[in-house]
């Protein structure tokens, strides 16, 4: 890569909406770096789709590209309609944990089951940030949020494991400190087909960090660094010891017929049978 | 229409709807099984791939309407079909399609509600939901067929209106019309008027404003289109707080329909200039009206009717004019008064508006019940 990277060429000249220290800046930067390193001069080969929440604003309207900012939780169905009718487009969904595995959970499982040809980048900040810091399906047990003032009494969801079980082609999880690994995962995922899921555990200093005792974003990054454990090591560790740890790594990469392939094969088969009749 | 160009078939209303969708150019269907609309999904699952289209069963109605919105932004004509419970789930998506000016067609084969109600029995209880079901200020286009033939014709009309006005259009059919089998005269494709959305010219950027109905690009066509259900300016850029762009957008979205009520309004009339007693009806209920009016005329009661094919926007002019001359207007419905209030509003107190309602068991309002009401109304 001889040309120096500048995110600006991929971005509209609109002020980013994120708080100081937000992980969305890192995710934006890393994604665009991955795109750049894959040799895309612009985003014309991509269609972006997102739901509601802070992370949904990463592509919309900031990326200089086609983007569809949908209802809360419904980015995956809309992306499914787009991809099926535009199979040549590289459809990428950005969303938060609340959007993708809270309100949109059912679509997430079914898109993975179908092996729908979409890359989903889920920015997991463990909280509903845009609405002011309410408990999310990913909030660690015991965390104080605005709707769990005595600490969350629910177990959090492991979205990456769920994606593997549901049938995704590629699954990885990193945090915002693992920028190189994250970039390489996104590059790999962008070149694969089927349902690809990259989870980025990210800091929300405003709506989460300060309520659980981190004085700034830097403190949260230190927490990620000290608290993460590679998947291979996690597999050899007791479940009790893993409580509260962030397991990072590549969870799955496999070949499986994708929805675009099976749908378009069905069209061919239907047309063949119709001609015979 | 030349006779030789018409083929005559025997179809259910749902089959006619599915075939009409294909004739209108629909190439994407997403739906979730629900009585009494499922035959539309089943028929399209077989037929759409034959013409290079896609029919997919989604995990629920939220996903179904999302998928057709996505397909529409990919440049395809797209449709879903459901019944009351699914129609309720789709309401947020209908608002999204309205706000983003996405042409889609939603078929609601109405059954007896609320809730699961009587799932296999006919009802007309979703009429007001079609008008007011999503949140915020919006204007609906909703059509009401009363035969298999009209399931064909109005499905095509639904696509044409959706494409012309860049808005969701609802085909408010009902269990009886959806399931009945009837003769349908199908014109050849070249004799069917098809409207397609206006595409932008190179360099155009205002896909959400400045004109009443702006041109619509597809994603992947190189326009860098920004679509959002948030309030946005004419370029699609989100405006979360400034009052002016919100007013401008939402007022335009409503006025692009309300300014064209006369063009959209579609209805059949009989003897409305002369009649003493008139019936305003729609959908399956209107099928009893023909006989009732004929019976009344034989008994010397000068009666007539308006049969609405457009429910929304409500064709109030024709009803208002009728109210100036008729002594009474009867509004039969398979619900507990819904369009009745709209007729009463349009009548402006100039005549008596009399409801005739029946729900449960899918029992139609009979011609005899209507005749009795006509006699009462005349007295």
Q: How confident is the model at residue B5 (pLDDT cuts 50, 70, 90)?
A: confident
Distance CA B268, CA B310 (A): 10
In a domain, A6, yes or no: no
Q: Per-residue pLDDT tens for A159-193?
A: 999 999 999 999 999 999 999 999 999 999 999 99
Distance CA A65, CA A154 (A): 39
Q: Per-residue pLDDT tens for A65-119?
A: 999 999 999 999 999 999 999 999 999 999 999 999 999 999 999 999 999 999 9
Neighboring chain A residues of B28 at a CB cutoff of 8 Å:
81, 84-85
Domain count, chain A: 1
Q: Is the predicted pLDDT of residue A5 greater than 90, yes or no? A: yes
% of chain A surpassing 70 pLDDT? 99
- Domain of A270 in residue numbering reads as 16-276
Chain A: residue whose CA lies nearest to B219: A66
| B256: Cβ contacts below 8 Å, ≥ 6 apart | B165, B166, B167, B212, B213
Give bridge partners of residue B227 from the DSSP assignment. A68
Neighboring chain B residues of A49 at a CB cutoff of 8 Å:
70
Distance CA B49, CA A264 (A): 9
Rg (CA), chain A: 19
Quick check: B225 contacting A, CB < 8 Å? Answer: yes
Q: Give the minimum alpha-carbon distance from A189 to chain B in angstroms, rounded to a whole number.
A: 20
Neighboring chain A residues of B67 at a CB cutoff of 8 Å:
77-78, 80-81, 84
What CATH code is carried by the domain that includes residue A200? Answer: 3.40.50.970
* pTM of the shown model: 0.97
Chain A: residue whose CA lies nearest to B29: A81
CB atoms within 10 A of CB B192: 16
Q: How confident is the model at residue B1 (pLDDT cuts 50, 70, 90)?
A: very low
Q: Per-residue pLDDT tens for A225-266?
A: 999 999 999 999 998 999 889 999 999 999 999 999 999 999
- Residue ranges of B 319-338 with Cβ closer than 8 A to chain A: none
Chain A: residue whose CA lies nearest to B74: A82
- Residue ranges of B 81-110 with Cβ closer than 8 A to chain A: 92-93, 96
Q: Per-residue pLDDT tens for B73-88?
A: 999 999 999 999 999 9
- Determine how β-strand B277-282 pairs with β-strand B328-333: parallel
Return the pLDDT at B4. Answer: 60
Burial class (CB in 10 A: 0-12, 13-18, 19+), B1: exposed
DSSP A24-86: HHHHHHHHHHHHHHTT-SSSTTEEEEE-SSGGGGTTTTTBSSEEEE-STT-HHHHHHHHHHH-
Q: Is the predicted pLDDT of residue A3 greater than 80, yes or no? A: no
Put simply, the answer to whether B237 touches A73 (Cβ < 8 Å) is no
- Pick the residue of A47, A82, A89, A93 with the most B CBs within 10 A to test the interface with B by mutation: A82
Chain B: residue whose CA lies nearest to A106: B59
- Residue ranges of B 13-42 with Cβ closer than 8 A to chain A: 27-28, 30
Quick check: B317 contacting A, CB < 8 Å? Answer: no
Put simply, the answer to whether B28 touches A79 (Cβ < 8 Å) is no
Indicate the CATH number for domain B266-378. Answer: 3.40.50.920
Q: How confident is the model at residue B170 (pLDDT cuts 50, 70, 90)?
A: very high
Q: Is the predicted pLDDT of residue A153 greater than 90, yes or no? A: yes
3-class state of residue B198 by DSSP: coil
If we measure between CA atoms, which residue out of A69, A66, A75, A63 comes closest to residue A29?
Answer: A63
Give, in order, the Cα–Cα distances in Å from A28 to each of A18, A24, A60, A70: 11, 6, 11, 19
Put simply, the answer to whether A61 touches B60 (Cβ < 8 Å) is no
Indicate the CATH number for domain B3-191. Answer: 3.40.50.970
In a domain, A139, yes or no: yes
Closest CB to B220: pick one of A66, A74, A263. Answer: A66
Q: Per-residue pLDDT tens for A22-51?
A: 999 999 999 999 999 999 999 999 999 999
Quick check: A3 contacting B, CB < 8 Å? Answer: no
Average pLDDT value for residue range B274-284: 97
Ordered by start, the domain boundaries in chain B are: 3-191, 266-378
Put simply, the answer to whether A74 touches B75 (Cβ < 8 Å) is no
- Residue ranges of B 175-214 with Cβ closer than 8 A to chain A: none
Give the ipTM of the model, two decimals please: 0.97
Neighboring chain B residues of A71 at a CB cutoff of 8 Å:
66, 92-93, 96, 229
Q: Is the predicted pLDDT of residue B2 greater than 60, yes or no? A: no
Q: Is the predicted pLDDT of residue A2 greater than 60, yes or no? A: no
* Token representation of residue B186: 């199908």
* Token representation of residue B84: 């009351």
Give, in order, the Cα–Cα distances in Å from B227 to each of A69, A111, B33, B325: 6, 22, 29, 49
């Amino acid at each position: 890569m001889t040309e120096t990277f500048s995110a600006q060429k991929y971005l509209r000249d609109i002020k980013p909406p994120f708080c100081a220290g937000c992980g969305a800046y890192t995710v934006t930067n890393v994604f665009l770096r991955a795109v750049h390193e894959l040799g895309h001069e612009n985003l014309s080969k991509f269609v972006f789709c997102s739901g509601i929440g802070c992370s949904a604003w990463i592509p919309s309207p900031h990326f200089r590209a086609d983007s569809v900012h949908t209802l809360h939780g419904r980015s995956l169905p809309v992306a499914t309609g787009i991809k099926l009718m535009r199979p040549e487009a590289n459809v990428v969904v950005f969303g938060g944990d609340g959007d993708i595995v809270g309100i949109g959970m059912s679509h997430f499982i079914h898109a993975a089951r179908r092996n729908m040809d979409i890359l989903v980048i889920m920015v997991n900040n463990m909280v509903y940030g845009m609405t002011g810091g309410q408990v999310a399906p990913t909030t660690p047990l015991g965390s104080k949020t605005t709707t769990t003032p005595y600490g969350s009494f629910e177990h959090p969801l492991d979205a990456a494991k769920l994606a593997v079980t549901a049938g995704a082609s590629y699954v990885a999880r990193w945090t915002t400190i693992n920028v190189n690994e994250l970039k390489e995962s996104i590059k790999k995922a962008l070149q694969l087909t089927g349902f690809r899921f990259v989870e980025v555990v990210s800091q929300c200093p405003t709506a989460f960090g300060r309520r659980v005792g981190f004085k700034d974003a830097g403190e949260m990054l230190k927490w990620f660094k000290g608290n993460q454990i590679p998947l291979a090591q996690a597999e050899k560790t007791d479940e009790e010891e893993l409580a509260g740890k962030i397991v990072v790594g590549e969870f799955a990469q496999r070949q499986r017929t994708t929805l675009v392939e099976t749908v378009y094969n069905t069209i061919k088969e239907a047309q063949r049978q119709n001609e015979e009749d | 229409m030349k006779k030789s160009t018409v083929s005559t078939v025997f179809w259910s209303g749902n089959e006619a709807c599915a075939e009409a969708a294909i004739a209108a150019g629909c190439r994407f269907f997403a739906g979730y099984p629900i009585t009494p609309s499922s035959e539309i999904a089943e028929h399209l699952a077989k037929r759409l791939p034959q013409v290079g289209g896609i029919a997919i069963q989604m995990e629920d109605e939220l996903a179904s309407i999302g998928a057709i919105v996505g397909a529409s932004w990919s440049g395809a004509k797209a449709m879903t079909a459901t019944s009351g419970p699914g129609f309720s789930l789709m309401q947020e998506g209908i608002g999204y399609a309205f706000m983003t000016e996405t042409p889609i067609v939603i078929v609601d084969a109405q059954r007896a509600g609320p809730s699961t109600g009587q799932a296999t029995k006919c009802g007309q209880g979703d009429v007001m939901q079609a008008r007011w079901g999503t949140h915020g200020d919006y204007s609906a286009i909703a059509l009401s067929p009363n035969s298999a033939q009209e399931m064909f014709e109005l499905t095509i009309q639904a696509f044409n209106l959706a494409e012309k006005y860049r808005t969701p259009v609802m085909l408010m059919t009902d269990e009886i019309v959806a399931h009945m089998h009837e003769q349908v005269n199908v014109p050849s494709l070249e004799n069917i008027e098809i409207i397609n959305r206006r595409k932008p010219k190179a360099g155009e950027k205002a896909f959400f404003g400045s004109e009443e109905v702006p041109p619509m690009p597809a994603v992947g066509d190189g326009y860098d289109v920004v679509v959002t259900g948030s309030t946005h300016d004419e370029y699609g850029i989100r405006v979360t707080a400034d009052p002016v762009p919100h007013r401008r957008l939402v007022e335009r979205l409503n006025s692009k329909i309300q300014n064209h009520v006369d063009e959209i309004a579609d209805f059949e009339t009989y003897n409305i200039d002369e009649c003493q007693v008139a019936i305003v009806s729609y959908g399956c209920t209107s099928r009893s009206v023909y006989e009732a009016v004929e019976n009344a005329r034989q008994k010397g009661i000068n009666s007539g009717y308006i049969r609405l094919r457009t429910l929304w926007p409500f064709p109030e002019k024709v009803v208002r004019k009728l109210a100036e001359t008729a002594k009474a207007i009867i509004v039969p419905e398979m619900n507990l008064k819904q369009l009745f209030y709209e007729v009463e509003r349009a009548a402006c107190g100039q005549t008596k508006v009399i409801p005739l309602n029946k729900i449960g068991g899918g029992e139609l309002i009979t011609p005899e019940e209507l005749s009795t009401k006509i006699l009462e109304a005349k007295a």
